Every structure is written in structure tokens, then in C-alpha cells.
Amino acid sequence: MTHNVSAARPPVRAPSRPVTRLEVAVDEDYEQFRARYEQAVPPLDYERTFDLVTQQAPWSAVIDLAEENGPLGFMIYWKFDAQPLFGLAGNRARCTEYLMGNHTIAERMYRHDAGSLLYAPLRTTIHESPSGETLFAIDRPSDTVAALGRSDITDVGRELDRKVGTLLRHLGTSVPDELT
């Protein structure tokens, strides 16, 4: 039996939206700031999280673990130190890329649209500018999720804006107005 896939295919949605890229100058050495960032945003405790899934634990246990694991509201899901690889091409600027987030916050978007996970966790970098200045960069979360066109999801994005602002304040950097 063959199916005419094109006849059943829904139309392509292609919403566009402006995204504000924020680069915050950090008045600190790259390695020092990176170390403090990684202390404030610890890695996700994959083992304990997996145990909760295996045990089919209640969602409240997931929330409790996330609050314990990421007391400032965020955890690192993945990180990539780019310079060693790109250094092979002669590049000297240091850059560490992160996927930073909180699955208990992401769930509050997921319940409305599973496709919201395209924007969670948040993508951030700590990198050096061409002049050697240390920068923290992120796309404003509320801008990224706005393409979904759902106010309940955009509201969570605005909450993430404020949480990123709180993180930056904790790290002693300036906080852009877009994150307040």
C-alpha cells in the first residue's frame, strides 16, 4: 500500500520574529569568569535525574532535585570548549558554548507545545571578542519563544529573561534592561 504523503502533509509554518542577541561585557578574565559561571550553573545531575525517571517518581521529586541541583534556577546540560578544535585552524579566541536551562521550567512551555523544546535549554557562550574582552552572550529567551505565538509560553520566556538577569547580577556583571 502506498500513501500520497504530499496530499496529507500540512502546510509549512514559517513564523519569523526578531531576536535580541545580548552580549554582556565582563570585567574579568575569561577563565575566572567561566569558572564562576560553572559554579553558579552546575551540570545537571544526570544520574539522579535518570533514577527519578527509572523509578517513575512524582513530578514533585523532579522539581525538588532541580531546585537542589541548580539553586540559581539553571543547570548545564552540555558544554563545548571550542578553542582547542578551532585552534587547529589558527584561531586563538577562547569560547565555551553551553546549553543551560531548567527542565522544570521548560515543562511549563512543553505542556502547551512540545516544539518549544527547540528553544530550551538556552544557548549561551562565554567568549573573547576580537579585542580580547570577555563577553557573555545569549539570545533573549522571550524573543526566541515568541515565534510559537502563545502568550502562555512567551510569559515563561519573560520569566527566563528575568532569571538570566538574576544570574548575571549574581555573577557581578551588568544586567541589560532587556533582562529585567
Rounded to two decimals, the pTM is: 0.91
56 conformational bin, left if phi > 0, alpha if psi -120 to 50, beta if neither: left
Residue 84 has pLDDT above 80, yes or no: yes
66 pLDDT above the threshold of 70: yes
Give which of 106, 124, 114, 110 is closest to 63, Cα–Cα. 106
* Cross-strand bridge partners of residue 112: none
**What pLDDT, in 10s, does the model give residues 115-141?**
999 999 999 999 999 999 999 999 999
d(CA 122, CA 161): 11
Mean pLDDT calculated for residue range 90-94 = 97
SS3 (DSSP) at 136: strand
Q: At residue 180, does pLDDT exceed 70?
A: yes
Task: Answer for the pair 106, 97: CB distance below 8 angstroms, yes or no.
Answer: no
Q: Mean pLDDT for the chain?
A: 95
